[in-house]
């Protein structure tokens, strides 16, 4: 399965989303349209791994499984698009957002090992917050190892800096450890206006059934 076509078609019809659940449903719908014979499931529980774990979107095509994890992080703003008002939250906490995205990458790697019918997986982040794709150049941030700015290479073990506060790390104390090596390459999704919150970009990392290296699609 190739997600390029559903994402492009989605960007043409939906420039912005009310929430992560809105994004999840809209993407699942486009995947179903692109692959009419596919079985598309939301919040699928892979009980063979853990009964409390859920896959955001699971696509099954000819008995091949394609798990998809996604994140939607926004700046606070109000957008009027084609007469529809979108009141977006300020998610902030980009350090936690970066950690959570990389944890999704780690989860997909786990699915690749544990799901016998795994064919290919995807981890997606869609955001209008430039902090995610911009590189400040600072090396003293608590999230330095979790940076996902343009051209970063993510691989191996990553941890919070030693001066990270307990509040920042709460519930996220564990290291992120990736088997593969992933190059960060952000792509344009949509541009609603010229304001700081008006541009949406997405990051997508694919995972093949074989091999450790994964490029962006």
Residue ranges per structural domain of the chain? 4-214
Q: Which residues have C-beta within 8 Å of that of residue 103, sequence separation ≥ 6? A: 172, 176
Report whether pLDDT(198) > 70.
yes
Report whether pLDDT(115) > 90.
no
71 vs 57: CA distance, rounded Å: 12
Write the pLDDT tens digit of every residue in 64-108: 999 999 999 999 999 999 999 999 999 878 999 999 999 999 999
Q: How many CA atoms lie within 13 A of 29 on its CB side?
A: 11
What is the dihedral sign for C-alpha 19, 25, 31, 33?
A: negative
Report whether pLDDT(196) > 80.
yes
Confidence of residue 157 (pLDDT cuts 50, 70, 90): very high
18 vs 24: CA distance, rounded Å: 11
Report the predicted TM-score, pTM, of the whole model to 2 decimal places.
0.90
What is the average pLDDT score of the chain? Answer: 90
At residue 113, the pLDDT reads: 86
Write the pLDDT tens digit of every residue in 18-64: 999 999 999 999 999 999 999 999 999 887 777 778 899 999 999 99
At residue 213, the pLDDT reads: 39
């Amino acid at each position: 399965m190739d997600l390029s076509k559903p994402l492009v078609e989605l960007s043409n019809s939906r420039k912005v989303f009310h929430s992560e659940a809105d994004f999840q449903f809209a993407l699942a719908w486009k995947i179903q349209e692109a692959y009419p014979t596919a079985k598309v499931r939301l919040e699928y529980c892979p009980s063979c791994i853990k009964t409390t774990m859920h896959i955001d979107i699971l696509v099954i095509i000819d008995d091949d499984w394609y798990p998809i994890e996604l994140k939607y992080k926004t700046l606070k703003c109000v957008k009027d698009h084609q007469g529809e008002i979108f009141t977006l939250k300020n998610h902030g906490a980009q350090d936690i957002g970066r950690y959570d995205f990389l944890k999704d990458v780690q989860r997909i790697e786990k699915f690749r090992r544990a799901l016998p019918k795994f064919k290919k997986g995807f981890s997606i982040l869609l955001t209008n917050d430039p902090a995610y794709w911009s590189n400040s150049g600072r090396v003293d941030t608590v999230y330095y190892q979790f940076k996902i700015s343009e051209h970063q290479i993510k691989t191996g073990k990553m941890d919070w800096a030693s001066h990270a506060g307990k509040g920042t790390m709460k519930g996220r104390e564990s290291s992120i450890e990736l088997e593969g090596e992933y190059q960060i390459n952000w792509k344009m999704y949509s541009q609603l206006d010229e304001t700081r919150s008006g541009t949406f970009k997405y990051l997508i990392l694919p995972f093949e059934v074989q091999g450790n290296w994964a490029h962006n699609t």
